[in-house]
Amino acid sequence: MAAFVGQPAPDFTADAYLSNGEFGSVTLSKYRGKKVVLFFYPLDFTFVCPTEILAFADSIDEFKKRNTEVIGVSVDSKFTHHAWASTPREDGGIKGVNFPLASDLNKKICADYGVLVDGAGIALRGLFIINKDGVLKHSTINHLDLGRNIDEVLRLLDAVDYTEQHGEVCPANWKKGERAMKPTAASLREYVRGK
């Protein structure tokens, strides 16, 4: 099953290194009732990856306020995740990571979400926002050398909440508390005129 915006997100169960420091598993469908930020990264013990993971970890309270769980996925084993999570930040580690890191050794999750790099066997920097009903609402895929913006992810989560609660659409650069509009030509005209 391929991941398409507006469709149910491909479900999976994977071994994981959990935020409590133990091994376990994560099943995407068990997060129903909450939004999920599912992000893929190339490999543990690399360079851009820890900056992203630590940025997510340092912002976890903002995700929790939005009823959102964060799950990281790479092709590394849960044991490699554990070793990296045990390495101090100043040594390139991600000590203190406070969300699960799933292991996609067989690369099926990466393939299902369209982030698998053929020939290299690693994931591009894919990010997927899944709503509380398990529907994929947003996807972005960055090249390996481009890190993600956590503030933009939070803005998108706010937009998902707003559109689902109010039935309106969020224009470019919309932020929580700003005007949105109804999906009609008349509402667009009012919005553009600043009314």
146-180 pLDDT tens trace? 999 999 999 999 999 999 999 999 999 999 999 99
Range of the domain at 105: 13-148
**CATH code for position 79:** 3.40.30.10
Q: Is residue 2 part of a domain?
A: no
For the stretch 107-128, pLDDT in tens is 999 999 999 999 999 999 999 9
Q: Is residue 112 part of a domain?
A: yes
For the stretch 132-153, pLDDT in tens is 999 999 999 999 999 999 999 9
pLDDT category, 195, cuts 50, 70, 90?
A: low
For the stretch 71-110, pLDDT in tens is 999 999 999 999 999 999 999 999 999 999 999 999 999 9
Q: Which residues of 33-67 are buried (b: 16+ CB within 10 A; e: fewer)?
A: eebbbbbbbbbbeeebbbebbbebbeebeebeebe
Long-range contacts from 58-61, C-beta under 8 angstroms, 24+ separation: 59/150, 59/154, 60/98, 60/99
Neighbours of 103 (CB within 10 A): 24
Q: What is the pTM of this model?
A: 0.96
Q: Is residue 23 part of a domain?
A: yes
Tell me if residue 170 is catalytic. no
- Kindly give, in sequence order, each residue whose CB lies less than 8 Å from that of residue 147, ignoring residues fewer than 6 positions away: 48, 51, 52, 125
pLDDT category, 194, cuts 50, 70, 90?
A: confident
- List the catalytic residue out of 49, 71, 110, 124: 49
